[in-house]
Structure 1
Amino acid sequence: MPCLWKTLFDTHAKLARGLETLQPLAALAARLHVAQVFWLSGLTKLRDWDITLSLFTEEYHVPLLPPAWAAVMGTGGELLLPVLLVLGLAGRVPALGLSVVNAVAVLSLSDIPPAAWQQHLFWGSLLAGLALWGSGRWSADAWLAPRCQAYFARAR
């Protein structure tokens, strides 16, 4: 019986190592997918600013902010944060920022269709994973971290 447990443990360890090698690819895919969604939404808002202001005045009821401010902040977040997310530059910050944009989008609509709700949950899940585990090895953060540590170690 102990031999069976060792075999199961070793098999599980090999599976875990194999899956961990896919982590950078999965993080990059999550970053690219979520960034595209928010980037395109921001571009749509920029294309016709009058309609965007109208939507934020009539349909989106963003709490605590005047509609014009909410439109500027939401559009700005949808255009700046995806760029940082794709690069993986300070990756947890844009993931958290887009999580706020995502949550505000859900909360500001009085009636959200079930399919849209599912999409927002999916994006929120991807963003939560990126916020908790970072952008992965294929990111500016991973490239910059050792260089910054070496620089600051020399600066002491």
Structure 2
Amino acid sequence: MPLGWLQSLALLAARLYVAQVFFQSGLSKLRDWSSTLALFQDEYHVPLLPPELAAYMGTGGELVLPVLLVLGLGGRFAALGLTMVNIMAVLSLEEIAPAALAGHQLWGALLVLVALWGAGSLSADAWWRRRSSR
């Protein structure tokens, strides 16, 4: 198996793993929207944004960007968008448990790989490039 395929498989695994984490987080926010708004009001202190706007933007990002990431559609855009969501999540908490911080660091590292290398050959982006070059 050529190295390019291994890289594409690794990028796909990274995309699927990170997307699942963020999508599940977005779903949990939707399930109890009043609690989500309360958390953004009282716990999460997102810089420069009113709490309600931050809640909508964060939840929207956690639901839309993982779908793009899984499909590899705008893979770099999705990875950079989720990187911003990840950074804001860490910055908005006054205290974060070491295990939670380690998770955010892992997700950030995987997202940086997708942002640098793209979604790989197993993606809608690659399919579109192959189709357009014909």
Instruction: Please classify the TM superposition score into its range, dividing by the shorter chain length.
Output: over 0.9
Normalising by structure 1, what TM-score?
A: 0.83
Corresponding residue for residue 145 of structure 1: 129
- Aligned partners of 1:79 and 1:104: how far apart in 2? 16
- 8 Å contact kept, 2:65–2:82: yes
Corresponding residue for residue 3 of structure 1: none
- Aligned partners of 2:130 and 2:14: how far apart in 1? 24
Corresponding residue for residue 133 of structure 1: 117
Corresponding residue for residue 10 of structure 1: none
Aligned runs of 1:31-46 on 2, under 5 Å? Answer: 31-46=15-30
Corresponding residue for residue 68 of structure 1: 52
Aligned residues: 134
Q: Which structure would you say has the larger RCO, counting Cα contacts within 8 Å and 6 or more residues apart?
A: 2
1:21 to partner: Cα distance: 3.1
Normalising by structure 2, what TM-score?
A: 0.96
- Segments of 5+ residues of structure 1 without an aligned counterpart are 1-16, 151-156
Corresponding residue for residue 29 of structure 1: 13
1:24 to partner: Cα distance: 1.2
Query: Are 2:71 and 1:52 aligned?
Result: no
- Aligned partners of 2:56 and 2:68: how far apart in 1? 18
Larger Rg: 1
- Aligned partners of 2:5 and 2:19: how far apart in 1? 23
1:19 to partner: Cα distance: 4.0
Aligned runs of 1:68-87 on 2, under 5 Å? Answer: 68-87=52-71
- 8 Å contact kept, 2:5–2:121: no
Corresponding residue for residue 87 of structure 2: 103
RMSD in angstroms over aligned alpha carbons? Answer: 1.2
Identity %: 65
